Amino acid sequence: MNRAFWISSLFLILFLIFYRVQSAKDIIQDTCKKLADSGPSYNFGFCVNSLGLDSESHRADLEGLGLIGLRLLQANLTGTTKHIKHLLKQKSEKRLLKALSLCLDAYSSSEGIDMTPTYKEKHYLDLNIRLNRLLTNKDICNTQGSE
């Protein structure tokens, strides 16, 4: 459960939705720079590396980068849910099992929901609501894990 990934992915998608600005040469660099300049939660290097892992990203426009970011987010959500399920199978202390169960409940409510059609149909308000729900669920899980 990489907190930086969740924060960066969610805000990247939100940024791409609300700041549809065309960049010059390399849209990845420009987009990640704008994100990094917008607040301390964004790491320029992490953003560039994450988006750069996708072979399509260097040919993508801003909307394409949004789809790539959304795919990365959904893959991370699935991986996180699987990891939580794996941890729950291990014998652990009761408090940790309770926290993991709450995390699983939080993430499972969003797992398997494909947000791509919502993005492609430009229903940005609906997508924003879903992404904020995910962010809230992540915060709930992080709070449980730190208590």
Residues 83-100: pLDDT tens digits? 989 988 887 788 888 888
pLDDT band at 23 (very low <50, low <70, confident <90, very high): very low
pLDDT band at 123 (very low <50, low <70, confident <90, very high): very high
Quick one: pLDDT at residue 91?
Answer: 72
Q: Over 50: is that where the pLDDT of 25 sits? A: no
- Contacts of residue 30, defined as CB under 8 A and 6 or more positions apart, other chains included, come to 23, 24
pTM above 0.85, yes or no: no
Quick one: pLDDT at residue 5?
Answer: 64
- How far is residue 123 CA from its own chain's centroid? 18
Percentage, residues of the chain above pLDDT 70: 82
pLDDT average, residue stretch 104-120:
83
Q: What is the pLDDT of residues 40-53, one digit of tens each?
A: 777 899 888 888 88
Domains of the chain are: 3-146 (1.20.140)
- Write down the mean pLDDT value for the chain: 80
Q: At what angle do helices 27-38 and 62-89 cross, to 10 degrees?
A: 70
